[in-house]
Structure 1
């Protein structure tokens, strides 16, 4: 089992709706370890770097407008198969189609105003993390709870 890191962005709607604490709490309760966190406003340049594969697509201007519309909270979590775990917790992109119990299923009604971004692969997580965090901003640490979250052969 792979111990992975994943980048999460709590988007401007999550910040404005004051859902950050609830979402972070869910991540921690799942057993994921926070290893980096900061609040920032995404610039147009940063948005283009993050969403580089979408810049030429017709929906990109709306995506850029939304992600730059207010502060976001950037988080790096770590855990076994963190990328797929986070993706499952997020739910489908469209909150109306997301299952209850997922972040978007419980708090979202929109396809675009959808609260949270999570890396879609370990490779994307590494690329995206480097966009938002310097290596020294990530903190590696052990916790006395680690053995209560996963068996030693899973970490």
Structure 2
């Protein structure tokens, strides 16, 4: 039987999470789940970085408001590692809409609808191994 392969995921604490002082709580939950922190940095994301990160959404009505929100303050970017950490972090984060996110999840416990144009839902996690590779290269080019 082969050894299970670890994977990596990009995790972002978005400007609303940083502004509310929730970075430590998000990282605590990641580590409590048993994932390792491989890299961590605080970034003031500019338009170029964000347009590369959200390239698949270009042209959608929420694209520009999303870039505006994501550049509104510091973002904490992390690379985490562990077996099935992509799926695991997305489960830990909860549903994209904080109002519908289950209690016990990051968004369910700490998020809510603020009535603004773009959903401010505290965190981002890569949604597939391919996305993780692409996103990590954007936010942590030194790791590739």
Same fold (TM over 0.5): yes
What are the equivalent positions in structure 2 for 1:2-151 lying under 5 Å apart?
A: 2-110=5-113, 112-136=119-143
Give the CA deviation at 1:45: 1.0
Q: What does the per-residue CA deviation read over 1:26-64, in whole Å, with 9 as the maximum and x for residues that have no partner?
A: 100110000000001111111100000001111101111
CA RMSD of aligned residues (A): 1.3
- Normalised by the size of structure 1, how large is the TM-score? 0.85
Q: Which runs of 4+ in 1 moved over 2 A?
A: none
Deviation at 1:95, TM superposition (A): 0.3
Q: Give the TM-score normalised by structure 2.
A: 0.92
Gaps of 5+ in 2: none
State how far apart, in whole Å, the 2-side matches of 1:134 and 1:96 are: 35
In structure 2, how many angstroms separate the alpha carbons of the residues matched to 1:20 and 1:96?
20
Aligned length: 137
Larger-gyration structure (1/2): 1
Query: Structure 1 residue 100: deviation in Å?
Result: 0.2
Identify unmatched segments of 5+ residues in structure 1.
139-155
